[in-house]
Structure 1
Amino acid sequence: MKVSLQETVGRNYADFWNTRKRYRVCKGSRGSKKSKTTALNMIHRLFQYPESNGLCVRRYSNTLRDSVFSDLKWAIHRLGLDGYFDCTVSPMQIIRRSTGQKILFRGLDDGLKITSISVDYGVLCFVWIEEAYEITNEDDFNKLDMSIRGEVPDGYFKQITLTFNPWSATSWLKARFFDTPDEDVFVKTTTWQCNEWLDEADRNIFLKMKQNNPRRYRIEGDGEWGIAEGLIYTNVVCEDFDINEVRKISGIKSAFNLDFGFTDPNAFVCEMVDNAAKRIYIFDEWYKTGVTNKIIAEQIKAMGYGGQKIICDSAEPKSIAELQEEGIQAEPSRKGKDSVNHGIQLIQNYQIVVHPRCTEFKKEIDNYCWSKDKDGKPTDKPDHEFSHGMDSMRYGVSKILLPDAFSFD
């Protein structure tokens, strides 16, 4: 069987496809086909190097099935190779029937499994780390990198591919791979314009984003690093803390809060506030666009927070009433003309510790900045873009820290 790679894969990735450097790093916009191209490349390489095996990695193992595993099954079908592979979920793996070559799947949340990977045929050559931005600790990457060692047959090579959206210029990925030239590193920036398979509706999404949300477009459209100029919260760390241990801290208080949206996402955020140590721990989240209040209520219950008091945007009394009808203890946030700035100033006194699973919140807080006026000078108002989780956190934290009689008016 013959397949035209030009027709199947498309254009703009020849350098990415052919490089044999140890690290192949591709940042890019949404819709730039970086993940689909990587999936096609991994399947192609199993045939090109019949003693090779692959490994796909994400920060959390429960995110693999609907991302890299799904993309690889799509790639197999697109290449017309359905009859050549077995794809199983338990255990999650893809096996080439005629040779026994495997593509394995692991999450970095299981350190023992990620550092003790072995294959029963051939050698492990190709590693794909999808959504690499979610890996906030460079040491986690180093442990994985060190485990991909050993000799390979003549003509073979080992390569680690990282694909991601560049949400923040403070990420270790930028310093490690982009700031200093390295002969072992191939880097590429891709945009949605690299993808000739997008239709007019897809392209219009990006054109509207460029017009209406230029800061988000810089990242999701142009594939450029998020810029922290005018950042509102600077004392932020991402740590894999034990939630149950934090709950044992004397005086710790929990808050559960919701910022409503529809075209913009709803942002349900959960935090714990340690007032004595001046720390706010962000431990859970749920972001979703286009959902009804009934679905929101069902999700809150499914996450195990149905019995908790939920502090909601006070500007949405109808939505609050609908959540109450669904059995949610929804309450309005504090309101007043200075509530936003006062809440921000309050939170700025605390260190914000974000659990790595709160990926959407982390993206937002890394890009939550003061807006600028027509002359490009910063104002005292936060920019609306990347504000949803930030507003949600403010509702809950303000409710915890301020006395019941407090008024912003």
Structure 2
Amino acid sequence: MGSNRTDILTPAQEAYARERAKGATQRAAYRAAYPGSAKWKDSAVDSAACRLEATGKVSARLGALQEAAARAATVTRAEIIDAQGLLLRKGREAVERHSLADKEMAPAVKALADASDRLMEWLPDEAPEEGAAFCRDFALLLAPPFLEPHRMIADGHRGDIWLAGGRGSTKSSFCSLEVVKYIESHPDQHAVVLMKRKADLRDAAYAQVVWAIRALGLEDGYDMPESTLRITRRSTGQKIIFRGCDNANKIKSIKVPFGYVGCAWFEEADQFAGMAEIRKVTQSLTRGGEGCVRLYSFNPPRSARCWVNAEMERREAAGLPVFRSTYLDVPPEWLGGQFIEDAESLKAADGRAYRHEYLGEPVGIGTEVFDNVVFRAITDDEVAQFERLRFGQDFGWYPDPWAVTGSEWRPGGRTLLTFCEDGANKLTPDGQAERVRALLTWDGGDGLPAYHHLPVLSDDADPTAIAVQRDHGVNARAAGKGKPGRMASYRFLQSLSEWVIDPERCPRLAAEVRALEYAQTPDGEVLNEIPDGNDHWVDATRYATMDEARRARGYRKAA
């Protein structure tokens, strides 16, 4: 479906305006912008060009380009005086060489003097100071750790800038501000903002750039339609394009209306599979340009051997900068009292989780996915006291099984206790419903078994199975697994102070957790990627805690 916007120029209209700004006639500009008009009569071209230039958006764009050209062509009083002197010297030489009478030179000299005087009256008293096209006191918006990378970019740095930090370190705020500043400072270039998952863009990177535009007081100069995931600078037509890299090969399809991509921001760069995938994306983005500023912001993964942590070590060993920051480097009033209180509370309750989440330290040592799991027996007396039960299920047939788990969530201690499971191959939704009801049937308080109608957050991939289970009295609901997504919900389980699993009650879950390791390349590089396929009971538990994971990520609760 085409856009309903009336103020965006087509590529041909933009080309016409640029040709006119260079000084081309209407006829020449129209033929250059619309090659199909080559066979038209001159009168037809002139008529079409007049109509085109009379339209409001083309006229406004042409005016902006001409104004920019005029600013670029500014002359000073000193330059005019120098020109006058040069012309007068040349005139005297011509008089002496050709014996011209003074009266023959007088009209030319008078015309020069009159024109120069009129121009001198129009010019300001002093030559304007040369300054940047975009001026803003970034010191008011940047935390101290980001002043050095800001100066690097302002001085014309091209290449990679790596920014690692924990929660509240404002690294994403810095990147979004620099993206907008770059657009303002380079009117012939564009920016691309990338995340691994397209589903995360709107609530994360896009919202962050909108914040930056407003923080800089520039909202009147940008069109920010959330539906398109493209932000346009009105005066120039520059684009800030947002893309998910679910399929890195599709990045080749990014097209800009003019110029090239001069700035790229990889938000949550650790979510990319590895440097090979990063390189594939950057090679596609930077074709045809004169260099690109590439910003990489991320929270270091838990595993010290993960590729992004290894890449930071490699860069630092080679003398290349990696900029690290934490919430402790940020003015407390920027974060608010609740943020500080939450950080200090976690520090007291679980120092290791605090170091990872808030200080950005890779607290894991190897390739294991879960280093916070405790395998122990969960007693019947403990189960009898559970009050915040969470059930989830992952659908499968064969060879993938249907899997369901039950856990107790303890938010105060950030602890999860998984105490029951079930599963089978080739089990129909009717059979699944019967097994779920059995799992949810226990003492009703009077010594008699009762069915507890608790929510069972379920794999979204099979809405038919959910519907059948509901028909059989199971309170099955879609987990909304698209947000926060697989890796983010894994990170929630990894962030727990403790995940207790009873290996006797939950043998299949325990086996999966013990076997899970991060993926590795053939040469041993550890990727921030968890192999899919042998994690069905882990998935069931992820779905069971999806609401908690959403809240931890700041997402709105799924409908």
TM-score, normalised to structure 2, is 0.48
Give distance in 1, aligned partners of 2:417 and 2:258: 46
**Which region of structure 1 is more displaced relative to structure 2, 139-148 or 175-184?**
175-184
- 8 Å Cα contact 1:85-1:97 kept in structure 2: yes
Superposed CA deviations along residues 95-131 of structure 1, whole A, max 9, x for unmatched, are 1110111111111113343123221122201111111
Residue 6 (structure 1) aligned with residue 139 (structure 2): yes
Q: What code does the residue aligned with 1:149 have?
A: T
Residue 62 (structure 1) aligned with residue 199 (structure 2): yes
Q: What code does the residue aligned with 2:177 have?
A: L
Residue 166 (structure 1) aligned with residue 300 (structure 2): yes
Give distance in 2, aligned partners of 1:336 and 1:182: 40
Give distance in 2, aligned partners of 1:178 and 1:205: 30
Q: What code does the residue aligned with 2:466 have?
A: G
Matched residue count: 312
Q: What code does the residue aligned with 1:8 have?
A: L
Give distance in 1, aligned partners of 2:228 and 2:296: 24
Give distance in 2, aligned partners of 1:120 and 1:79: 25
**Which region of structure 1 is more displaced relative to structure 2, 199-208 or 184-193?**
184-193
Give distance in 2, aligned partners of 1:212 and 1:96: 47
Q: Give the match's secondary structure for 2:174.
A: helix
Q: Which runs of 5+ in 2 are unaligned?
A: 1-133, 372-394, 426-451, 478-499, 520-526, 532-536, 545-559
Partner of 2:286: 149
Structure 1 residue corresponding to 2:350, chosen from 213, 216, 227: 213
TM-score, normalised to structure 1, is 0.63
Give distance in 1, aligned partners of 2:529 and 2:410: 17
Q: Give the match's secondary structure for 2:164.
A: strand
- 8 Å Cα contact 2:194-2:264 kept in structure 1: yes
The alignment yields a C-alpha RMSD, in angstroms, of 4.3
- 8 Å Cα contact 1:259-1:391 kept in structure 2: no
Larger radius of gyration: 2
Partner of 1:253: 401
Residues 255 and 190 (structure 1 numbering): CA distance in 2 closer, same or farther, change over 3 Å? same
Q: Higher relative contact order by CA 8 Å / sep ≥ 6: 1 or 2?
A: 1
Q: Which runs of 5+ in 1 are unaligned?
A: 235-245, 275-293, 311-323, 330-334, 355-361, 367-387, 396-409
Partner of 2:455: 297
Give distance in 1, aligned partners of 2:147 and 2:163: 13
Q: What code does the residue aligned with 2:301 have?
A: W
Q: What code does the residue aligned with 2:298 have?
A: F
Deviation at 1:24, TM superposition (A): 0.9
Deviation at 1:300, TM superposition (A): 3.9
Deviation at 1:57, TM superposition (A): 0.7
Residue 175 (structure 1) aligned with residue 310 (structure 2): yes
Give distance in 2, aligned partners of 1:119 and 1:183: 35
Superposed CA deviations along residues 213-254 of structure 1, whole A, max 9, x for unmatched, are 1111111121111323695869xxxxxxxxxxx968x54312
Partner of 1:403: none
Structure 2 residue corresponding to 1:392, chosen from 510, 529, 541: 541
Give distance in 1, aligned partners of 2:192 and 2:312: 21
Which residues in structure 2 correspond to 1:196-207 (within 5 Å)? 196=331, 197-207=334-344
Q: What code does the residue aligned with 1:75 have?
A: A
Q: What code does the residue aligned with 1:6 have?
A: A
Q: Greater helix percent: which structure?
A: 2
Give distance in 1, aligned partners of 2:503 and 2:221: 63
Structure 2 residue corresponding to 1:187, chosen from 318, 322, 336: 322
Superposed CA deviations along residues 274-306 of structure 1, whole A, max 9, x for unmatched, are 9xxxxxxxxxxxxxxxxxxx9x93864867463
Which residues in structure 2 correspond to 1:2-401 (within 5 Å)? 3-19=136-152, 20-152=157-289, 157-168=291-302, 169-181=304-316, 185-196=320-331, 197-228=334-365, 231=368, 250-261=398-409, 263=411, 264=414, 297=455, 300=458, 304=463, 306=466, 327-328=475-476, 339=504, 346-347=511-512, 350=515, 392=541
Superposed CA deviations along residues 321-359 of structure 1, whole A, max 9, x for unmatched, are xxx987239xxxxx99763796676336756689xxxxx
Q: What code does the residue aligned with 2:343 have?
A: F
Deviation at 1:365, TM superposition (A): 8.4
Q: Greater strand percent: which structure?
A: 1
- 8 Å Cα contact 1:130-1:162 kept in structure 2: yes
Q: Give the match's secondary structure for 2:145.
A: coil
Q: Give the match's secondary structure for 1:57.
A: strand
Q: What code does the residue aligned with 1:179 have?
A: R
Give distance in 1, aligned partners of 2:516 and 2:476: 30
Residues 345 and 151 (structure 1 numbering): CA distance in 2 closer, same or farther, change over 3 Å? closer
Deviation at 1:9, TM superposition (A): 3.0
Superposed CA deviations along residues 1-28 of structure 1, whole A, max 9, x for unmatched, are 9642212334331112233251111111
Residues 325 and 49 (structure 1 numbering): CA distance in 2 closer, same or farther, change over 3 Å? same
Give distance in 2, aligned partners of 1:136 and 1:27: 17
Partner of 1:384: none
Partner of 1:279: none
Taking only the aligned residue pairs, the percentage that are identical comes to 21
- 8 Å Cα contact 1:108-1:140 kept in structure 2: no
Q: Give the match's secondary structure for 1:91.
A: coil
Q: What code does the residue aligned with 2:512 have?
A: I
